[in-house]
């Protein structure tokens, strides 16, 4: 079955540590996205990519970095510069960067030790 | 970025009752999507509205796009326990912008 796989499901970060969240899709979608979700809030866009080797900052990119070396993969690194990283992180994809429905992974819950 | 307001933020419904959640924008929208997120789950696409005054139905769910394309609503009839979750509207500007959502709980 086609879908989006995020790993790990739960992740713990120590102070000053960078961590990388994995996102892989086999839907053959061109566009991929990373969102952050905090309790009681909607989804806020961190980064998005419409093609390989190209990505753009979203609304809250500070303290995060991404890469898009393969169409299927869009990993997100939460750097030590992100002072409040505890959140639920969701990866999504769509056929193109347009008003197409987005398909989401199951998410990664990141916590600070 | 562009903002949309979803009301109410929380909706406690008796099983079998109807309810409506609203999504309001100060600017004209080109189109709007609706998603549902079950507790502990991820958002799932429900529907997209494009035309002014458009009404679409999915079983007990009725979605409407306002005539001025500045607001949208989701009406659920005869609420069931399976309707529990958070419903997000997501207007498209140059990207999807999610509202804060309406979290629905159901009293059996």
Query: Which secondary-structure segment (H or E) carries B32?
Result: strand B31-37
**Is B6 a residue whose pLDDT tops 70?**
yes
Q: How far does the CA of residue A82 sit from the closest CA of chain B (Å)?
A: 21
- pLDDT > 90? residue A49: yes
For every residue of A42-99, DSSP letters joined together read -EEEEEEEEETTEEEE-TT-TTEEE--SBTTB--EEE-TT-S---EEEEEEEESSSSS
pLDDT tops 90 at residue B67: yes
> Phi and psi (nearest 5°) for A108?
-125, 130
- Kindly state the DSSP code that residue A101 receives in the 8-state scheme: P
pLDDT of B1 higher than 70:
no
The answer on pLDDT for B2 being more than 60 is: no
B3 touches chain A (CB under 8 A): no
Tell me what the pLDDT averaged over chain B comes to: 94
As a whole number, mean pLDDT of residues A3-7 equals 97
In chain A, residues with a C-beta closer than 8 Å to the C-beta of B44 are 104
pLDDT tens for residues A83-102?
Answer: 899 999 999 999 987 888 99
């Amino acid at each position: 079955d086609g879908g989006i796989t995020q790993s790990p499901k739960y992740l713990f970060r120590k102070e000053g540590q960078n961590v990388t969240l994995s996102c892989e899709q086999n839907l053959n979608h061109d566009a991929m996205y990373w969102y952050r979700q905090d309790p009681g809030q909607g989804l806020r866009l961190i980064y998005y990519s419409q093609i390989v080797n190209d990505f753009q900052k979203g609304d809250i990119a500070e303290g995060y970095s991404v890469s898009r070396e393969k169409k299927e993969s869009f990993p997100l690194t939460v750097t030590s510069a992100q002072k409040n990283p505890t959140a639920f992180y969701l990866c999504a994809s769509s056929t193109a960067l347009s008003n197409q429905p987005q398909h989401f992974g199951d998410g990664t819950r990141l916590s600070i030790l | 970025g562009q903002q949309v307001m979803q009301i109410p933020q929380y909706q406690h419904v008796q099983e079998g009752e109807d309810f409506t959640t609203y999504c309001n924008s100060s600017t004209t929208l080109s189109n709007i999507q609706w998603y549902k997120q079950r507790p502990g789950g991820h958002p799932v696409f429900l529907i997209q509205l494009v035309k002014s005054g458009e009404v679409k139905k999915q079983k007990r769910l009725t979605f409407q796009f306002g005539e001025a394309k500045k607001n949208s609503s989701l009406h659920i009839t005869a609420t069931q326990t399976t309707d529990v979750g958070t419903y997000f509207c997501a207007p498209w500007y140059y990207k999807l912008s999610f509202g804060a959502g309406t979290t629905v709980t159901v009293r059996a």
